[in-house]
Amino acid sequence: MVKYPFHIGFCAPSRTIDDVSKYETIERYLTDRGAKVSFDETVFHPVKQFGGTENDRLAAFMRQIEDPTVDVVMPVRGGYGISRLLDAIDYEAIARHNPICCGFSDFTAFNLAYLAHTGKVSYQGPTGVSFAASVPDLTETSFLNAVTDTVWQVHFETTSDETLNLEGCLWGGNLSMMVSLLGTPHFPKIKGGLLYLEDVHERAYRVERMLLQLDMAGVLRQQKAIILGDFQGVDGRTPLREEQFAWRDVVEYLRTRLPEIPIIEGLPFGHIPERVTMPVGAMTRLTLESHRVTLTSTDHPTIKK
């Protein structure tokens, strides 16, 4: 059985969990594997869909970050809500505490804002609800590798027959959340980066429109590579009609539009149960040979024991 020999502090900067019985399930799953688990009290006091008022959610987030016994700060789930907090977050104060923060989906807004304001690395990875059922081996081992090992590494297969050896800032997350930050002080200015993207329940034309917005804003052409994760639901119901605009059309057009930038598919990351944990802001080496991609970094934060 995989072990979690550290303390995870949960809060709800976005939505909270509707079914309160899941908190007990999450706690049991993690404590059975050696973890200490704490939930900020605000997760049990929702306001509409949110985990409390804006002031409550911000205070809860900072309590977890400032608690010296907490090793990893994690939202209980994504959804929507952290965007309301971005202007009020004291990023420099967070950087001084230098926490390990991990989440994905809506949490992308914090990941990117934290990188933009401080240059510090955080994680796209599990949230509380990830532990509300049996966790796939890849999800567990990748998360533990990220927060405990001195070398972070991810391998995956791709259709590309290129041979690449690149190094740059690995960054990204949810495409919709990234686009929502364009033109704000919370959007990182990354040149020569390795940009990874995912989304869920966005049809192909909407995904392409967001990618075009990133390109027209000058973001995509400044990267060394674009790595595509899972885009669950992008083609709607299958089978596809012959005339239907689909995910393949998006990828082919992106490659035509950006012929000098490798577009790499197959990253096991997104709104799927089996997914890897990805640093946001870590200097990373990407190698691609014989259809196999390896991402490697030693620039990621780990639990200090």
Q: Give dist(CA 215, CA 46) in Å, integer.
A: 38
Q: Give dist(CA 175, CA 171) in Å, integer.
A: 12
User: Annotated catalytic residue: which of 14, 27, 83, 105?
Assistant: 105
**Strand locations in the chain (E):** 7-11, 36-39, 72-75, 100-103, 122-124, 152-157, 164-174, 193-200, 223-232, 263-265, 278-280, 282-289, 292-297
Q: Give dist(CA 95, CA 114) in Å, integer.
A: 8
User: Annotated catalytic residue: which of 7, 117, 186, 271?
Assistant: 271
Q: Is 97 a catalytic residue?
A: no
Pairing relation of β-strands 282-289 and 164-174? Answer: antiparallel
Q: Is 140 a catalytic residue?
A: no
User: Annotated catalytic residue: which of 198, 202, 208, 265?
Assistant: 198
pLDDT digits (tens, 9 = 90+) for 49-83: 999 999 999 999 999 999 999 999 999 999 999 99
First to last CA, the chain: 21
pLDDT tens-place values along the chain, 305 residues long:
889 999 999 999 999 999 999 999 999 999 999 999 999 999 999 999 999 999 999 999 999 999 999 999 999 999 999 999 999 999 999 999 999 999 999 999 999 999 999 999 999 999 999 999 889 999 999 999 999 999 999 999 999 999 999 999 999 999 999 999 999 999 999 999 999 999 999 999 999 999 999 999 999 999 999 999 999 999 887 666 767 899 999 999 999 999 999 999 999 999 999 999 999 999 999 999 999 999 999 999 999 86
Q: Tell me how far the alpha carbon of residue 301 is from its chain's centroid.
A: 15
Contact 269, 108 (CB under 8 A): no
Question: Exposed, middle or buried: residue 144 (CB in 10 Å: 0-12, 13-18, 19+)?
Answer: middle
Q: Is 105 a catalytic residue?
A: yes
Contact 72, 37 (CB under 8 A): no
CA proximity to 251, closest of 210, 204, 215: 204
Q: So what's the pLDDT on residue 305?
A: 66
